[in-house]
Structure 1
Amino acid sequence: MECSNQEEERYYRARKKVEDIKGFYGNLTSYVVVNSGLFILNIITSPGHYWFYWPLLGWGIGVLFHACKVFDLISVFGYDWEERKIKEFMEKENQNQKRDQWQ
């Protein structure tokens, strides 16, 4: 029975990871398409004044952070951190329940 639960948990985590990666690629695709359009619009409407790089830079920072989270490039708040925090909170809850039973 325990093995089945572990398999289900592994499947859930793998599925979540795939959904996260899929979401990142959707974000990246939107970034490229929209910013390409903004570049073309900028060149057509005001070729002497370049403003397209502001949304390119702002959204690019967001895409970079998204990539760091999805691909665990910076492990400060990565999957391992989430798992440790979940276990920590579950352990505290167990300790509180045990304490309440003895009182």
Structure 2
Amino acid sequence: MTDAERREAIERIRARRGFWVHLTVYLVVNAGLVLIWYLGSGGYFWPVWPLLGWGIGLAAHGFGVFVGVSPPSEERIQREIDRGRRS
């Protein structure tokens, strides 16, 4: 295993860990909001808005971590460096 492979593996592990922390916070906070709604007036289910809004962000985070795009190739990195030098 090269140093670059090791760094990439550590980065993937941290990304997955970050997603699970994000999911846990999402569940705890939104459960709290639903509880506030339930214990309060009930009626219109206003927690739907933070659930949906934050849920979209959480889904995007999960997509980036678990499905996402592959890391850029060395060729792509070099092309970007060359493009920056021409600017």
TM-score (norm. length: structure 2): 0.84
Matches within 5 A, 1:24-43: 24-43=19-38
Going from structure 1 to structure 2, the CA distance change for 1:86 and 1:46 (only over 3 Å counts) comes to farther
- Identity among equivalent positions (%) equals 32
1:89 has 2:56 as partner: no
Higher helix share: 1
Counterpart CA distance in 1 for 2:19 and 2:79 is: 29
Structure 2 gaps, min length 5: none
Pick from 55, 67, 70 the counterpart of residue 79 of structure 1.
70
RMSD: 2.1
C-alpha deviation, 1:87, in angstroms? 3.6
Matches within 5 A, 1:23-62: 23-62=18-57
C-alpha deviation, 1:57, in angstroms? 0.3
TM-score (norm. length: structure 1): 0.72
Q: Tell me which structure has the larger Cα radius of gyration.
A: 1
Pick from 65, 68, 72 the counterpart of residue 70 of structure 1.
65
Going from structure 1 to structure 2, the CA distance change for 1:87 and 1:71 (only over 3 Å counts) comes to farther
Going from structure 1 to structure 2, the CA distance change for 1:85 and 1:42 (only over 3 Å counts) comes to farther
Q: How many residues align?
A: 84
Counterpart CA distance in 1 for 2:39 and 2:61 is: 31
Q: After TM superposition, which residue ranges in structure 1, 4 or more long, deviate above 3 angstroms?
A: 82-85
Counterpart CA distance in 1 for 2:56 and 2:32 is: 19
1:7 has 2:2 as partner: yes
Greater relative CO (CA pairs within 8 A, separation 6+): 2
